[in-house]
Amino acid sequence: MTSLPKTPSLRLDGKRALVTGASSGIGEACAVALAEAGADVTIAARRLDKLEGLAAAMKEEGWNATALQMDVSDVAATEAAVLEHGPFDVLVNSAGLARHGPSLETLEEDFTAVSDLNAKGAYFLTRAVAKGLIEAGKPGSLINISSQMAYVGGIDRAVYCGTKHAVEGFTKAFAIEWGQYGVRVNTICPTFIRTALTEVTFKNPERVKWIEEKIKLGRIGEVEDMMGPVVFLASDASALITGTALLVDGGWTAD
């Protein structure tokens, strides 16, 4: 009888996952997706009250979830928390900040705040989780939520674009360095996703027109659009994928 190949599992049973920026939006959706797939999820963000509510709701579904207060821009505290609560088999870093405006009007404090979280914070968080895995002799999947703006420019988004381009760069370098340990590092790059934080953009008719013209599938993204991709990259179904980006952009960057 012919021996048929077996599809790798998308299940995450027995895996421990850390999801930062989990108190709302994309981070919340990613946490729910990983928990539904069987992972024991630690949800982290600055707003502990929001996290505790989410953890309670996830537990009601029969999933494993623990709330952990964390500010990714505080490198020392983040590294200490990962050391204390890890090692984590999966990281999804959805913590991010945007302060949009014309580049000629960029304030130094805005540049610093966005860079400290989106670039420096992401770098050291990813490194901390990888260090825990390597010291424990375990493989893992580390995922940074990047953006389509890591591949294109955007109106009033010079600082944000710069930080996301940086994430793509160190993702590739990490993947090269840590591949020997079985630690995979990738990004997910969404287009505009409808969340509480992006509603201000969708109230601007000019911005909506620009977005709708760019997204070839003809609709704005929803948080559910991120849930399948994050489970895929976290699971053994993507076992040979590292150092790359999964663009969830509705065709924006196809031009």
Catalytic residue among 123, 151, 160, 181: 160
Tokens describing residue 58: 């996830």
- Is residue 160 annotated as a catalytic residue, yes or no? yes
| Whole-number Å distance between alpha carbons of 232 and 130 | 19
Residues 6+ apart with CB under 8 A from 79: 124, 128
CA atoms within 13 A on the CB side of 170: 19
Burial class (CB in 10 A: 0-12, 13-18, 19+), 11: middle
User: Tokens standing for 83?
Assistant: 């050391």
Residues serving a catalytic function are 160
